[in-house]
Amino acid sequence: MLKLIVWGAGGHAREIVWLCEELNIKVVGLLDERPHMKGLTVEGLPILGTLADIKLLRDEVGIVCAGVGDPALKRRFALTTASSGFRFAPPLIHPNVRWSRRNVIGAGSMIFEGGVISEQIRIGQHVILNRSVSVSHDSVIGDYVTLGPGVCLAGNVVIEAGAYIGIGASVREKIKVGNWSVVGGGAFVKDDIPEYCMAAGVPAVVKKNL
C-alpha cells in the first residue's frame, strides 16, 4: 500500500489526509518546521519534524509538498524534498472528479472533490485544485499553482507557475495570469494579468505589485 507523509499540519493538510482516506492511501505522519510542533498529533497523526527526522523512511514513503496553499512555500518544500533524495507523492485525484484521459498532471499535484477538468488540460507539479474547480479545454496550469475552491477557468487559459487564484474567481477564455501573481477571491479576470502582481475585483484590475 502506498504510504505518504505530508508537509504541513494545518487545515489544508488535514483535508489532504481526508482525500487520502477517500483514495485508500495511508498517511503515516506530517512534517512541520516549527520545533515546538514536533511530537504533537493532528487527527491522530504524529508531527514528525522535518525531513532530517525521517531519513530512515526515505525509500518507503512519498512526500506531499502541497500540504500548504502558499505557492512559494510549496516550492521551498519541493526543492528541499528533492535535494534530500526523497520521492514526491504521485498525483492525488478525488474519485468524484471528472477527468479526461487526455489530460496530464505532474507529481505531487492534487484535485479535490467535485472538480471538472475537461479536455487536453496540462497541469504541472505540486498544483492544488481545491474543491469544485472547473477547468475548460486546452488550459495550462503551471507548477506550484493553487486554485481556490470554486475557481472557474474558461478554455485556453494559461495560469503560469506559482500563481494563486482566490476562492470563487473566474478567468475568461484565452487569458494568461503571470508567474507568481495573485487573483483575489470572487474576481472576474477579463484581461491578462502580468507576473508578480495582485489583481482583484469585477473586472479584475491590478491593485499592487508583489
Ligand X SMILES: CC(=O)SCCNC(=O)CCNC(=O)[C@H](O)C(C)(C)COP(=O)(O)OP(=O)(O)OC[C@H]1O[C@@H](n2cnc3c(N)ncnc32)[C@H](O)[C@@H]1OP(=O)(O)O
Alpha helices, DSSP H only, in the chain?
Answer: 11-22, 71-83
137 noted as active-site residue: yes
3-state SS assignment for residue 120: coil
Cis before 46? omega within 30: no
Q: Using CB under 6 A, pick the residue from 91, 106, 186, 194 that binds ligand X.
A: 186
CA distance 165 to 185: 7
Residue with cell 489532504: 16
Nearer to ligand X by C-beta: 71 or 184? 184
Q: Using CB under 6 A, which residues numbered 62 to 101 contact ligand X?
A: 69
Q: Using CB under 6 A, pick the residue from 124, 148, 162, 178 that binds ligand X.
A: 148
| Largest separation between any pair of C-alpha atoms in the chain | 51
Smallest separation (angstroms) from ligand X to the CB of 167: 4
Contact 68, 8 (CB under 8 A): yes
Nearer to ligand X by C-beta: 48 or 127? 127
69 known ligand binder: yes
In one-letter notation, the amino acid at residue 157 is V
Catalytic residues: 137
Q: Write out the binding residues for substrate.
A: 69
Binding site for ligand X (CB under 6 A): 69, 130, 148-149, 166-167, 182, 184-186, 198, 200-201, 207
Residues annotated in a binding site for acetyl-CoA: 167, 185
